Amino acid sequence: MNFDIDLELLTRPATGTAVSLIAEHLRTQIRDERTGDMHDGRVRRDDAHHPILTLAPIGAPGWATSTARVWNALEWTERHGPQPLGFEVRAPVPEGILDPAMQGLAWALAAFISRDLNVPVSYGVMEGTGPWSGRHDTGHHVRLCFPVRALAEPDGADAILDRSGKRSGFAGRLAMASNPQLANAFMGRVAREAARIRSLPKLPVQPPVLPSPKRAPFVFGFEDDVELPPPVSDTDPKVHPLVARLRREAPRGMTLPDLRDFEHAMSLATDIEDALKVVGEHQTVDDGLGAQQTRTVAAILDHEYLLDRARERRSEAEEALRDLQQRGGRLLVRVRRGLGLGDVSLKQKSQDVRRLDSNVQALKAAVLSLRAQRQAMGQDRAVATLALTGARDELKDCVRRLHGTDPQVLAHLVSIISCPERTWLKAAMARAVPQVEERIEQARDEGKSGPSVKPSRSGMGPGR
C-alpha cells in the first residue's frame, strides 16, 4: 500500500514564534516560556481530544521529550525573522483503523523519523475538522513536526549558541532544509516505512506515557510479536559514527551533481574511518610491545647490576677462604687444640662461597633469559612496526582520495575526531597533501555547524 506523504518546511510567521506555529499546526496549547503567553490552537477545548506527544532518540536529554521545552528552545536558538523552524509530515490514515491503531501508527512513524534524523518529533492524530482550508484539512491523518536542527552530541561539542550566547541543545540544520533532492528522498523513506508498518499483521501499540514530567528519554520498542528489523548497535563494526555525524552536518545548498559528489565523499570518509580503526589497533599493539621491551631492558640492567655485586661478594668470600686456609695450616703446626675450630671456620666459609657462586650462576641465567626475551620482542616489534607502517600508508591513500574529491569534508572530519585519531590523520594529511591548509578549528556561526558549502559546478555558488 502506497502512502501519499506530504512534507512541508515550516518558517517563522511575520507575527509569531516557533511556539505559536507548532501550537497551530498540531492543534494543541503551548506556553511561551519567555513571554508567558499561552498559544492555544485546539479545535475542541479538551486536552483528551488528540494528545500531542514528543519522542526523542535513545540517549537524548530529558527535555527533548517535552513538546513545550523543545519548541521553546528552538525559538530561542533561531535568529529573528522568517527563519526555517521545522518540518511537518502528514500521512493519511486509511479508513477502518480505530483510534488506538492510529496512535500506534503515529508513534511508529515518529520513532522512525527520530532515529533516522536524530531529532525530537512531536506527533498526533488529526481528524480534519479544523478551521483551516487546503492541505491543512486532509481527513484523518497523522501529523508529525520536528525541528529543522538535529540534537547536539551529549558532550555538547557540536552545539550551536543561542541568542544568550550559551550552548543550546541543537546542532546544525538538516541538509534537506535547503536541498529538495534530500527532502524527496526522505519522503520516500517515510512512505516506505509507513507502508511496512501498515503491512504488519498487527499494528504497533503506543506505549503508555509516564505521568512524571521528569521522565527518562523515550526508548523505542514494539510488542514482542511484531517482527522488526534488528536495531543498529554502536558496537557494530558496520556503524561509522564519524560519517553519521558528517551526514547530519552536511553542507547546505547542494545541487544534484554536488550531491553525488558528496555521497562519493562519504564513502571515502567511511574508508578513512575504517583505516583509522586499523591504525589504532596496530598502534596499540606497537605501543604495548614497546613498553614491554622497555621494561625488559630495565630488568636486564637491574640483573646485570645485581650480578656484578654478587661477583664482588663471591670474590671477597673466596679471598677470605684462602686466607683462612693459610692461617689454619700454621695453627696446625703450633696448636693442635685449635684444629677443631679451624675446621668449623673453613666449612662455613666454603658454604658461603658455594652459596654466592650459586647466586652468580642464577643471575647469569636470568640475564641470558631476559636478553633472549628482548631479542624475541625486538622481532615482534619489527613485525608490529611494519604492520603499523602499512596501516598508515593505507590511511594516507584514503586521505589523498578524499582530499582530491572534497577537501572541505576532510577538514571537517579532522575537526570532529578525538585527539589520538586527529594526530594520526594530520600525519597522513602531511604525507598525502604536503601543502594542506590548517583549517581544523573552523568558526561556526549560528546557522551552520558543518563544513562550508561546496561551490556548484556552474561556478555561480551553491544551488538552491
CB atoms within 10 A of CB 117: 20
- Give the end of a domain, one of 177, 202, 231: 231
Judging by beta carbons within 10 Å of its beta carbon (0-12, 13-18, 19+), is residue 119 exposed, middle or buried?
buried
State whether 74 and 198 are in the same domain: yes
d(CA 6, CA 143): 10
The percent of the chain in helix, strand and coil, each rounded to the nearest 5, is 55, 10, 35
The long-range contacts involving 69-73, CB below 8 angstroms and separated by at least 24 positions, are 69/33, 70/120, 70/122, 70/147, 71/18, 71/19, 71/22, 71/30, 71/122, 71/147, 72/18, 72/19, 72/30, 72/32, 72/33, 72/34, 73/162, 73/168, 73/169, 73/170
In a domain, 94, yes or no: yes
C-alpha–C-alpha distance, residues 3 and 112, integer Å: 15
Rounded to whole angstroms, what are the CA distances from 256 to 87, 163, 245, 351?
21, 34, 21, 92
Same domain, 188 and 312: no
Give yes or no: residues 55 and 167 share one domain.
yes
C-alpha cell at 317: 668470600
Q: Are residues 41 and 161 in the same domain?
A: yes
Q: What is the CATH number of the domain that holds 78?
A: 3.30.930.30
Instruction: For residue 370, tell me if it sits in a domain.
Output: yes
Assess if residue 119 is contained within a domain: yes
What pLDDT does residue 242 have?
Answer: 80
Indicate whether 444 belongs to any domain. Answer: no
Whats the size of the chain, residue-wise?
A: 464
pLDDT in tens, the chain (464 residues): 456 788 999 998 888 899 999 998 888 889 988 888 898 887 765 545 567 889 998 888 889 989 999 999 998 888 877 888 999 998 887 665 666 777 888 888 998 899 889 999 999 888 755 444 444 455 678 899 999 999 988 888 888 888 888 888 898 888 888 888 888 888 888 888 888 887 777 666 666 554 443 333 333 333 333 333 343 333 344 567 888 777 777 665 556 666 677 778 888 888 888 888 888 888 888 888 888 888 888 989 988 888 898 899 888 888 888 887 777 555 554 454 454 555 667 788 888 888 888 888 999 898 898 988 888 888 888 888 888 888 888 888 888 888 887 788 888 888 888 778 888 888 888 888 765 444 444 433 444 444 444 444 444 343 33
| Structural domains counted in the chain | 2
Q: Provide the pLDDT for residue 122.
A: 93
Any domain includes 461: no
**CB count in 10 Å sphere of residue 316:** 13
Residue 415's identity, in one-letter code, is: S
Q: From 231, 262, 295, give the residue that closes a domain.
A: 231
Boundaries of domain holding 206 = 6-231
Q: pTM for this structure?
A: 0.47
| CA nearest neighbour of 451 among 151, 246, 173, 180 | 246
Residues 42 and 174 in one domain: yes
**Burial bucket for residue 118 (CB in 10 Å: 0-12, 13-18, 19+):** buried
Residues 226 and 85 in one domain: yes
- Residue 443 inside a domain? The answer is no
CA distance linking residue 396 with residue 385, whole number of Å: 16
Does 437 fall in a domain? Answer: no
Residues 196 and 325 in one domain: no
Question: Measured between alpha carbons, how far apart are the two ends of the chain, in Å?
Answer: 33
Backbone phi, psi, residue 253, to 5°? 80, 30
Cα 144 to chain centroid, rounded: 28
Per the domain annotation, does 60 fall within a domain?
A: yes
Same domain as 311, residue 227: no
Same domain, 287 and 220: no
Same domain, 108 and 184: yes
What local confidence, expressed as pLDDT, does residue 430 receive? 83
190 and 285 co-located in one domain: no
305 and 373 part of one domain: yes
